[in-house]
């Protein structure tokens, strides 16, 4: 027995999405210009071309700065490698190369969680400070 369409949704047209705007170059490109996420649940937010450029930048920074020393701790959460291991996926190490996306300058090494946190706030210091005040007062 089928359920009644209480909201009239069955009558709404379904739009097929065949393109999206890259978060890096801001160009509207066909979905074929994007890779699947590592879990293959969605298309990555940046196009393959921008992803290749970003990979070159990160590889160059890794070659210049190397990996952190043994005993390194995330400068934000202060956790060590054993405490953060596996947070970025099975195949990733404990540390993520952090760099300024505007200048491409190396900033240091972070754990995956702290790196994602900064990314979620788009490196906006005011948003980060507002979040700190919110947490402090919640």
**Class for domain 19-66, per CATH?**
alpha beta
- Would you write out the chain's pLDDT as a tens digit for each of its 138 residues? 667 777 777 777 766 679 999 999 999 999 999 999 877 788 998 999 999 999 999 999 999 999 999 999 999 999 999 999 887 766 678 999 999 888 999 999 999 999 999 989 988 999 999 999 999 998
> What is the distance between the alpha carbons of residues 130 and 115, in angstroms, rounded to a whole number?
18
Q: Which two tokens stand for residue 5?
A: 């369409």
Domain boundaries, the chain: 19-66, 69-138
Among the four given CATH numbers 3.20.20.70, 3.40.1800.10, 3.50.50.100, 3.40.50.800, the one describing domain 69-138 = 3.40.1800.10
Tokens of 34: 């994007």
Q: How far apart are CA 42 and CA 16, in angstroms?
A: 15
Residue-level pLDDT at 90 = 65
Whole-angstrom Cα distance, residue 29 to residue 112?
29
Closest CA to 103 of 121, 123, 118: 123
């Amino acid at each position: 027995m089928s359920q009644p369409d209480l909201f009239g949704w069955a009558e709404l047209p379904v739009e097929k999405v065949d393109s999206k705007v890259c978060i890096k170059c801001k160009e509207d490109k066909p979905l074929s210009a994007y890779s699947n996420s590592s879990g293959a649940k969605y298309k990555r937010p940046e196009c393959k071309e921008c992803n290749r450029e970003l990979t070159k930048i990160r590889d160059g920074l890794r070659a210049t700065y190397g990996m952190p020393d043994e005993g390194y701790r995330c400068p934000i959460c202060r956790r060590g490698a054993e405490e953060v291991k596996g947070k970025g996926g099975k195949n990733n190490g404990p540390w993520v190369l952090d760099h300024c996306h505007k200048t491409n300058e190396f900033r240091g090494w972070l754990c995956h969680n702290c790196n994602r946190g900064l990314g979620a706030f788009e490196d906006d210091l005011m948003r980060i400070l507002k979040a700190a005040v919110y947490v402090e007062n919640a």
